[in-house]
Amino acid sequence: MTEVHPRVRLDRLESLPFQNKKLAKAVMTLDCDEDDLYRFGTLLHSTVSRKEKLDPFFPVFWAFLDPARMPSTWDTERPREEYTRCIDTGTLALQYLSEHTAPTSFMWPRMFAWVCFLEDLLHASPRVDVGNAEALILAFFEHCRRIDGQFEKYKWMLCHPRFWLFVGRSWATAISKKGAHHDKHGVHNTDCCARVAGLLCVAELVFYGCKYDMLYVRELAEGAGGWSELARLFVAHFRLTAPSRTKLDLMHDSKGTLPVMGPYLLLTWLIRDDKYDAMDLLDRFVAAGGIRALVTVIFALGSEGREDTVADQGASLQTLTIICATSHKYLLVALKAGLFQLLAASALRPKRLQIDPRVCEPIMHQILTACTIYADIIREMNKEVGITSLGSFQAFKGTDFYGFLLDASNTCTFKIGPMERHPEKRARGENPVACDNVECGKINHKTKFSCCAGCKMLRYCSLACQRADWTSGHRKVCAEYAKYRHNIHTHFTAHDLSFIRFLIFESFTCVGRYCIGDGGLGRPDQTGGVVIFDFSERIPGQLPGQPCKFSVADASRKVLPHFGKSVWEDQGIVFKYFESISNRLRNTFGFKHATSFLLVCAMGGARYGAPYRFSGQWGMASPSSSPGSSATKTSEVSVQRDETMKAER
């Protein structure tokens, strides 16, 4: 016989007054009517209102949350009154355990079993009126979120398929819930708002526990019908009050403001997870209005003027910064949603919008960097800098925003950015390209090359070379190359690709003298992009295989002069822009391979391949043989960012 937990033994009822003890036993054995259930609920409520413990009622809760006592959904033999009393009593037990106590681990299995039962009952047996059961299920999850340091105790629950089944169903139907009413702004009534509040609590619950396993986060996004639904919820519940654009009508649940951080922090984790298609996720999120909603939330948190919202506001802005760094098109959406005005208001009215300047700085740098590259960002900034509501630039003197605003204004005087104005010095047509048949080695000085009709990435000097390369292995990867090329042109603009080649070529001028070919960003079967340099005129001591070092600061000095007399004195702008590209590379192709560039050096008949890795630590990989060539050698060069450059910034 299984030993009963001490906290649920029947003798604990003896501590209750006689009438209360008699009522509790009657309810526990279902020897009660509707009036008895009402009196029992009133007794629980009065006990909580007097701040007394509910421990004496644990035996009643334990009995009714027993899975063996759950009525069958299709139980037609049991009298309807008894059937309803059983559901109401179990729901009552769940409600008070969820909202007013911190159940120990021995109670979780039974509580969750009833959650699954009620969830199934809502969908499988609509003929039964379970009243407020759905709201209680969400309250149960909300309670999980409030138990600090208890994640390990209910970690098993997040692994349970029924948990994701419930979340998925609720998520998918939260907007279209039968009987939910909308006003002219698309905002739900109070009952539906309470349901949305519970869903957002689930998102926070999973985020704060997902440090244990990212599987939870991916399952939430996939099993819940997509984050586009979440974006629609935020658009509906966090809206600007026309025509002010400074106030927000925040919907509240019974316990205060709806949680806003969990979903966006979850989104940040998904972006950083290299196993998830972050670009597709973000596209759907942005299409549903997610970025606009996030800017709106940041406005609202600052407008409330409460100290407890400052941290949420800063974290929201950090999340927005990470999203905008993924692609400049997301930054453009944020600017159109009023991000620039938000930053300006924060500088002018720090007591109202208390955004930490250290939090604002990354997003400011993103805007400045984008202004040097993309014409659409410049056009949008030109509108924002010229708006009369910001006043003259003199108003910002003494603030961290003043220099940023001057730089933005100077940049917006250009019709197009410096990178767009500057003709690409090393366009593909100007560079000699080697035949992709490794046994050939011809370059296109005298021979016109043709592309592979399938992937349009590899080039050959003749049909014979193309056939030889096809039989030697290209047939296995041609389809992958085509998909790779599609992803490149989907997530990277022509200027992005030009900038990458531009940076690589100029950074390596201190290593190789002549570039004899390049393969863009990379190939799926290798470590990354391919850049070929001619080392035939270099002495062996200067080859990459020797222990030599050069800093990124030195490399950037090779790059920056080609920008012309730009308004930017800070060399860090190159790295800021490349960081945004690197984020897209990781999100599109995975963390490990997309940030690598393969340097192939030609010296006589031999080739030296060295993967060049653009990541937190700039450097080359250890020596290894390149595929397809018996005379291939690989070498290593340590390329580290100069620490003095950080001090200069």
Boundaries of every domain in the chain: 486-648
pLDDT digits (tens, 9 = 90+) for 268-277: 655 555 544 5
Q: Residue 404 has what pLDDT?
A: 67
> Which pLDDT score is estimated for 19?
81
Query: Mean pLDDT over residues 298-314, rounded?
Result: 61
Average pLDDT over residues 480-509: 61
Give the tokens for residue 19: 């009438």
CA distance 83 to 60: 17
Residue 343's pLDDT is what?
77
Higher pLDDT, 322 or 414: 322
Mean pLDDT calculated for residue range 420-439: 49
Q: Which amino acid is at 278?
A: A
- Mean pLDDT across 76-92: 64
- Least confident residue range of 18-32, 203-217, 267-281, 514-528: 514-528
**pLDDT-derived band at 571, boundaries 50, 70, 90:** very low
The stretch 9-38 carries a mean pLDDT of 79
Q: pTM above 0.75?
A: no
Give per-residue pLDDT as tens, 544-570: 333 233 333 444 444 444 443 333 344
**Residues contacting 588, CB < 8 A, separation 6+:** 279, 487, 488, 491, 594
Given the structure tokens 């047996």, which residue do they identify? 125
Q: How far apart are the first and last CA of the chain?
A: 71
Contact call for residues 341 and 389 (beta carbons, < 8 A): yes
Side chain identity at residue 631, one-letter code: A
- 406 vs 201, residue with greater confidence: 406
Task: Look at residue 348 and tell me whether its pLDDT is greater than 50.
Answer: yes
E strands along 215-356, which residues? 238-240, 248-250, 252-253, 256-257
Rg (C-alpha) for the chain, rounded Å, is: 32
351 vs 408, residue with greater confidence: 408
Q: Which of 129, 154, 134, 119 is nearest to 194 (CA)?
A: 134
Looking at per-residue pLDDT, the higher value among 412 and 338 belongs to 338
